[in-house]
Structure 1
């Protein structure tokens, strides 16, 4: 039985769509179908039913799934074991970040490392889901965990910086501050933050699923916004309110699999990523002076607002 056929089977079982599975694997959807059909022909049974909800495992597929996952775990462990002994400062390092602002910060901060080690190739993506480092979905992950929540015990975990939020409004609309909050999910988490804020009487409006969308909505004057200080303080078009309700709500962590502890290129990237965050500590803990705003912008600040 071909491992690649098993991998395509597992990916289709998880994604339920041949196009999504192909995108995940970096192949065409026809390749996914061809691999799965080859596996079905070899086993002499149908593994998937095609439904309105996508590709769903048959009873035979369900029976095969646990064994296929065990094979996947063994293959991943084998690959990590080989990679973990690699002492070359060359090759690809996959780094997943929790949001685009963190990714851009790392792109700038890792520039000198990339110049010093041209053999190291970075593959950076932005995704909030919990990547499975045991399946080698990424080599290094930067993830947000709520205060008091610990990362999985089987991973190498290093705390980086606090995630501190504050209240912001658009500088262009600050002569008349909005009378509502811009919404985000989960709604119950935002409701709790609003209830504990200095503007607890204001309603929440809309739902904006990313930091970038929340910033754009705030720029348009659609509402007040709660943002991490590493986002809000870096936006010249936003300013912190005087009643900013600065709160430490989470922490950023650096995660990797212990099997890759001795891999030279991954160890090097880990060290430089941690240094980038150490250098930017004031940006994350909410201290001022990290970014300069346009000259003269402070002169027309309304009462109730202060510079970011």
Structure 2
């Protein structure tokens, strides 16, 4: 058997469709369809049940999937082991972080990192999802969550605070006091499928009829605040530097999160990973006041 056959089984199983597998493997749908049919014909067994376009592994498919996962795990472990021995301050470094952190802070930090280590090429994956460091989807993650997987290594940088923000235009004809019923106020929220802690807080705290605008992007939510559509819950590092919006309440304690630099344990001694932890970790720590919501005077709130 060819390793690519196992990659096909992994891709179809993980995405549940030929279209998803084609995207993951960089092929078109028809190629994946022929590839799977040829594999099943060769073994004279059906590997997937087709239920309304959703592909579910059969018993034979599950058996092949288990083998494929073991092979992938060994290949990834070997890849990390070799990369972990790399003492060169050169090569590619894949970083992942949220959209808001990339927008507000990270580009300045990466400019400083590149000026010190010009041989390292940085690839920034801006994604609010948690990419899988175990599968080398990224080398380093900057996350607002403590690493729980035993194979991950992390360093806590700071805490991140969240508060409600509004524009002077919005507040011009409204009471600044936010009552328990939020009478007379409008809110900007997340899309209904969001699972972020801030989205959950809004759902549990603010009546649904008070949320008049939704967006999956925090940057877009901030721009909606500037436009006067309503108030939004934003990380303080995103909202505080803006001069045309203001926080109308102290940071919401329940939404405070830890900010971590995270990598796989096998990669922590790689020269370029160590350099990133040192340079960017120190630069993030220097911005702790901004991250923790202490850069703006809130004495009047």
Write the mapping of 1:25-104 to structure 2, written as runs, cut at 5 A.
25-29=25-29, 32-33=32-33, 35-37=35-37, 39-97=39-97, 99-104=98-103
Structure-1-length-normalised TM-score: 0.80
Structure-2-length-normalised TM-score: 0.81
Runs of at least 5 residues in structure 1 that lack an aligned partner in the other structure: 291-303
Which whole-Å CA distance do the structure 2 matches of 1:123 and 1:27 have between them? 23
Cα deviation, residue 131, structure 1: 2.5
Contact (CA 8 Å) 1:239, 1:305: kept in 2 or not?
Answer: no
Which residue is 1:296 aligned to?
none
Which whole-Å CA distance do the structure 2 matches of 1:29 and 1:140 have between them? 32
Which residue is 1:183 aligned to?
189
Runs of at least 5 residues in structure 2 that lack an aligned partner in the other structure: 175-183
Which whole-Å CA distance do the structure 2 matches of 1:43 and 1:267 have between them? 47
Which residue is 2:257 aligned to?
250
Q: CA RMSD in A?
A: 3.1
Per the alignment, do residues 188 and 103 of structure 1 end up closer, same or farther by CA in structure 2, a change over 3 Å counting? closer
1:94 counterpart SS class: strand
Q: Would you say 1:240 and 2:252 are equivalent positions?
A: no
Which whole-Å CA distance do the structure 2 matches of 1:103 and 1:189 have between them? 23
Which whole-Å CA distance do the structure 2 matches of 1:136 and 1:228 have between them? 28
Which residue is 1:297 aligned to?
none
Cα deviation, residue 72, structure 1: 0.9
- Give CA-to-partner distance per residue, 1:237-283, whole Å, 9 cap, x none: 32122x33453521111111111122111221222231231122121
Q: Would you say 1:136 and 2:136 are equivalent positions?
A: yes
Which residue is 2:125 aligned to?
125
Which whole-Å CA distance do the structure 2 matches of 1:137 and 1:171 have between them? 42
Contact (CA 8 Å) 1:168, 1:238: kept in 2 or not?
Answer: yes
Which residue is 1:18 aligned to?
18
2:161 counterpart SS class: strand
Contact (CA 8 Å) 1:11, 1:21: kept in 2 or not?
Answer: yes
Write the mapping of 1:265-304 to structure 2, written as runs, cut at 5 A.
265-288=272-295
Which whole-Å CA distance do the structure 1 matches of 2:230 and 2:109 have between them? 32
Cα deviation, residue 91, structure 1: 1.4
